[in-house]
Structure formats: C-alpha cells, structure tokens
C-alpha cells in the first residue's frame, strides 16, 4: 500500500504563485523583456524575504498573467545590486 505524503512532504502545487505576487507591490524590482514567439513577456526580479526571485509574466486582457517563478540567477542578483545597492 502506498503511503500518503504529509503536507510538509508534498511539494507546493506548480500553479501556486501567491507568494511571488509580492514583487508587484511597489518594492524595488527591475524588469527586462523576455519575448517568446510573438508574445511580449517580461522578467521581474526582486527580493521576497531574504531571497531573490524572478517572475516571468505577460499582460493579457489588461491583467498580469504570471507564467513562471524561479529563484533568480546570479547575474540577475548582481544586476539588482548594481541598481539598488547592497552586497553582491
């Protein structure tokens, strides 16, 4: 019989972007174009807690649609520090 995972063991659902919406609350972030095919997409990098995240998003029907969210890469963190200060 397969043992069920507890909530602590079960990974977060892939579509759960609630936490990363904080990057759109007015905090310091930087954005850059990341077009794909004919869709205009943007990457936005900022701090959530003590970690840097990248959110890839687009606008559809006058709404922001989050496509994906990741921990930011080293170059994105360095760029953030160039723009806003702090240790790299």
Domains of the chain, by residue range, sit at 19-84
Q: What does the pLDDT read at residue 18?
A: 79
pLDDT, tens only, 20-45: 889 999 999 999 999 888 889 999 99
User: Are the C-beta atoms of residues 61 and 74 closer than 8 Å to each other?
Assistant: no
Mean of per-residue pLDDT scores for the chain: 84
Q: Find the mean pLDDT for residues 4-32.
A: 72
pLDDT band at 78 (very low <50, low <70, confident <90, very high): very high
Judge whether residue 11 has pLDDT over 50. no
Strand partners, 39: 36
- In angstroms, the CA 71 to CA 47 distance is 10
């Amino acid at each position: 019989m397969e043992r069920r995972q507890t909530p602590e063991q079960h990974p977060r659902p892939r579509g759960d972007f609630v936490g990363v919406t904080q990057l759109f609350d007015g905090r310091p972030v930087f954005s850059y174009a990341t077009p794909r095919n004919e869709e205009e997409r943007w990457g936005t990098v900022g701090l959530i807690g003590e970690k840097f995240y990248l959110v890839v998003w687009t606008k559809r029907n006058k709404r922001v649609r989050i496509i994906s969210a990741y921990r930011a890469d080293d170059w994105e963190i360095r760029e953030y520090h160039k723009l806003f200060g702090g240790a790299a």
